[in-house]
Structure 1
Amino acid sequence: MTKSILPTSLNNLKYLKAEDLYKCILNEHKTIAGIKGYSLYNVDSTLDIDANEPIVVVDVRGEDFIGGHIKGCVNFPYQDFRRVNPDTGIHDQIDSFIKKYLEQNENVTIVFHCAMSQQRGPSAALLLSRILQETKYQQLLEKSNINIMVLYKGFINWQQEYGKDKAVTEDYNSFVWG
């Protein structure tokens, strides 16, 4: 069981390589032995990820979701993901995401991505991490190990490598991607 990794800044955010995510998807959306999370800012900072933990891929692209997506991903456009309920000041969408995908798994790896994983993907990962560190989720974190990561180089890199592979990419349209 991998100890929870909740990033607090871009400096300690971990990234997962497309080739490792590819192997996890072929393993029925479960992590495989020997994969690591990497830091973009500290080459010595890696995270060994245990095998057979559920992996949830969250695609935060909005209109640019057309043309294909990673098989089994959850499309949660960044604009919706970060929306705050004006009456309560709560991120209702994120609370719903946590209930659906995190509360039912003791161990889970969440991998965010957008087109290039430079802005929306990392921002969504950091937002989820911040919310999970609120008092109301303390019990969840005590009983669960949650790893929050970002897909290195995003969907643009993914589609170059695996776009035409129907085992891991759905609804791929080569006209959109060239």
Structure 2
Amino acid sequence: MNYQYLNADQLVDLLRTADHGKDFQVVDVRDDDFRGGNIPGAIRAPSEQRTDQSVEDLVQQLKDVPTVIFHCTLSQVRGPKAARIYADAMAKARQPDEQAAAAKTEDLGTAPSQDAAAAGAGVDFSPNPYLAQQRTDGAQEQQVYVLRDGFGGWQSLHKKDPLLVENFDATIWG
């Protein structure tokens, strides 16, 4: 699997401590069910409007954001599918960069340092495990998540907090 699940309390921590749009980005893939509220700062990317080009554009737009979190209403179908498609497109877009870095290393006749190899071994010493890890080429490894229980679960926990839910309409969620 090329994404992981993120719990609501973990996203609350990010919203309260990290820079939205710089350290992380929430992507809402709901379609007509978007009405009734949303997570502040989320990018709207409706699943029914997804095309290869829109996915490539999103990858380009978020390439420097270390943590990307997808969700739909329940995060059972559309959110996970969007995360998988995005992560696959991100990996495909990154391949030419990795091939160029490998060719440059071969041209210089050098091998990656032990520190770089250890960094790529999946060891995370970050106090916040939801922020990206370093890749062996020195770039940030983007982490892709799906918000567990989607916006339905999110709004049931946080609908009264305007810092965590905006445009809330109780008649839709009642």
Aligned residue number for residue 165 of structure 1? 161
Give yes or no for the alignment of 1:127 onto 2:117.
no
Give the letter for the 1:19 counterpart: D
CA–CA distance in structure 2, aligned partners of residues 92 and 21 of structure 1 = 28
Ranges in structure 1 where 5+ consecutive residues have no aligned partner: 1-6, 31-52, 84-90
Which of 23, 48, 62 is the matching residue for 1:101? 62
Normalized per residue, the structure richer in strand is 1
CA shift, 1:133, in A, is: 2.2
Give the letter for the 2:90 counterpart: L
Q: CA RMSD in A?
A: 1.8
Kindly report structure 1 stretches of 4+ aligned residues shifted beyond 6 Å: none
Summarize deviations over 1:115-168 as a string: whole Å, max 9, x none. 00000000001111111222x422278533100110001110000000121011
Give the letter for the 1:137 counterpart: R
State TM-score, norm by structure 1.
0.69
Aligned residue number for residue 14 of structure 2? 24
CA–CA distance in structure 2, aligned partners of residues 144 and 22 of structure 1 = 22
The sequence identity of aligned pairs, in percent, is 29
CA shift, 1:28, in A, is: 4.3
CA shift, 1:109, in A, is: 0.6
CA–CA distance in structure 1, aligned partners of residues 41 and 166 of structure 2 = 8
Normalized per residue, the structure richer in helix is 2
CA shift, 1:26, in A, is: 1.7
Larger Rg: 2
CA–CA distance in structure 1, aligned partners of residues 85 and 143 of structure 2 = 13
RCO comparison, higher one (Cα < 8 Å, 6+):
2
Give the letter for the 2:16 counterpart: L
Aligned length: 134
Ranges in structure 2 where 5+ consecutive residues have no aligned partner: 99-134
Q: Would you say the 8 A contact 2:59–2:89 is kept in 1?
A: no
